[in-house]
Chain A
Amino acid sequence: MTLLPKLLLLIALLFQSAIICAEDNAIAISNLTNPARSTGIQIGDVLQRSMTFETATPQNMISKALPAKGTRNDEVELIAASIVRLKEGSKNQYKLELNYQVFTNATRSKVMALPAQTIKISSTEQLVLPAWRFWFSPLVETGIVNAKANVQPQVKAPTIDLNQHALGLKVFSVMLILSIIGLIYVNADTQWLPFCKGNFARAHKQIKRISRSKVTDINRLKKALFSLHSSFNKTYGSNLFANDVGDFVSEHPKFMPLQQQILEFFTLSNQSLFSRHRQDDREMLLKLLSISKSLRDCERGV
């Protein structure tokens, strides 16, 4: 029974001597910098401590000796460790930086610490870092609760009465559409529109093109007359001559108001095509343009 205490005492002495031996190998840290603030530290905060020391050990050996990134100790995790050589010589001067991040979900303030660490950089040298204490502050003092309990009813933004504007917009849109249709109806010459397929609409288009053409063409008046004659013939169903104008307007009463103009056209046509006393082409084309426009409008019921 007296042997056990002696044995325990021996072990304790050996352990103490080992510690003393280790402390004897510690490198002197010339400048140790801890975080500036030791209170109000919250979850996710990164804390940095740095130190400067001198040693003959090469940098690559020191780098290999640094603690591994991701090492967690009392809810504090080492997230980065870097060594930089500041001065080179018989003894190199290094600066070591260690970055920690706090990962505790404590709901009350408590004391935490950056851990004490011993970094053995060679067989004979080691760095001994003391712990550094700080106060952890939780995000919510009383704990995390369901957010729904804190939801506030949203106030609806005041709206503007658009009814009267909407009515105006609708009226304007209808008028715009009607105006566009009306303009196309009156002026369009393209044949893809259903009301542009009329015989006189085509003739008027051709005469307009002929009269605007800058190309010298001795047959341009003849072409214009041919176009209008063709329109009359198609509308009448057979050849229409001056003597048949009465029958023509009887069959197509909508052209009745233009009977005089139609007779004038036949007079002009006869003078141009058959008479030795020919008139000026340009003047004749203008007259044909006017007559064909009247006929086209009449055909469309404008």
Chain B
Amino acid sequence: MKRLTSITDLEKLQKDLALRRKGENLLVTLCQGTGCKAYESHKIYEAFEKELNARNLREKVSLRSTGCHGFCEQGPLAVIFTGEICYCRVKAEDIPEIVEKTLIKGETVERLLFQDPEGGKRYAREEDIPFYRHQERLLLGQNRLLDPRSIKDYIAQGGYQALGKVLAEMTPSEVVEEVKKSNLRGRGGAGFPTGIKWETTRQAPGEEKYVVVNADEGDPGAYMDRSLLEGNPHLVLEGLIIGAYAMGAKKGFIFLRQEYPLALENLRLALKEARDYGLLGENILGTSFSFEAVTKRGAGAFVTGESSALVAAIQGRVGEPGPKHINTALQGIGGKPTALNNVETWANIPRILERGASWYASLGNRENTGTKIFSLVGKVNNTGLIEVPLGTTLKTIIFDIGGGIKGGKKFKAVQTGGPSGGCLPEKYLDLPVDFDRLRELGSMMGSGGMIVMDEDSCMVDVARYFMQFLKEESCGKCISCREGINMMYDILEGIALGKGREEELELLEELAWATHKASLCGLGKTAANPVTSTLKYFRQEYLAHLKEKRCPAGVCKALISYTLDQEKCNGCGRCQKLCPVKALEGERGSPPHLNHPLCIKCGICFEACPFKAIYVQ
């Protein structure tokens, strides 16, 4: 490919490519995100190729591997255009039927369509599926359409047009103004206004400046950044290049979590292709603007997602946070002004410049504009990556998009913002999800994790789990964070084991306060949220553990025991076969006897019993 040497070159290329795409009558896009890959979606691709070749259709049908479509619950996904027929949980053996019926005859394969768990209605078109229907997929929308390993695909769909427009028509300060006007707030969690950060870096003295993509996504169960980088790396890169132009940076870093090999691969390829096309490097699109970006990999510490720790890590030092009076925007890498933004923040930039700040600001509410990607996981029917305008209520997210609670159980709490977010109870389901509302209630936006819990979740156990995660991920510098979290964990562990004393609740509250107040960085400052929020909204549950030595949700092993209902049991022997410690004794054909001292309360029999004859006490 010839290097693009002017903005008109880029426009011409876009038109050519788009025209060629128009000729595509039949297109099949296959999700090859990490989630679907785990379900062997690459084999589906091979099966499609084989089948198309066998039927001499390879020339007529475009087959495309894409990044994550978001509806991970139903993966692997295949979408057939035109018609946008979405097939769920596709297996390699389904391919001949799809080719025969859908690609040749234009019919749908009913059994592969999404079926609503409640009501059983099937949906053919992707956009009709309730999971997608209530979303506004400003950033994720392209994921299902383009091959992340092809810059041509991105350009064909209007990619790099925002960069072209910026370089042709706007001065750097106009770009910063536009971002300010959009009211975009940092998607990494704190929600700091991006435009103001950019202005600080832009106006900071000195020639040498840096831009950084924070892709050190580490929250358990959260994968929005990974999916953007795996599925649409050029979108993030375009945002970064625009930012570099606006702030006068010559070099950029993409700091990527160690555990994201596919994102790294796609990103490196994107950087190479962008360089080959003259969109990165010296004299971008023939202008006087030059910019280079490289990837840096984290070494596996959660805390390097924190800005000052990330800057330290990029420079090869131990990834530990530094003093907070130093503003990274002014003194970052090598003491030079450094604009550090989250993956999702950068991905918003091309959209803002394509369609204008006022359009962008019309999404969401006044102080919380635009959309936000959440990873909706836990006990909901439709888990996956979702994108909604800020200010959408929890109810819409969990019940309309998420399809409600699995197995018809009752909603209990939702934890927002990753491991150091708070757990919000049912009474806040009408809460508009934005940076400020969540903070007011003792939770946070964080990077956008959302873990839904049902009646079977024990809130003491939840708090204990997150303290365990955080104590291991604290860098250990501040005593308040290192020991504060550790001691909170010890107390919670004691409560879960039935050894807690009531007066320990006060101590727990004091520790939570001190960890929040006395710690240096965001990790320590927010670490106590799971404890304080559960104490605030689910105190009764703590008291049941402490006073009655009872776990109401039946989770804390030390406080529960299993009982067998002789009436319901028909002696099928399934539980006896599965019990790892042989605690269910007796002859097959009659109800077994549960030998309590042997029982390790693993719950396997409880889960397995077809007659629900085993219950928790």
Q: A and B: partners?
A: no
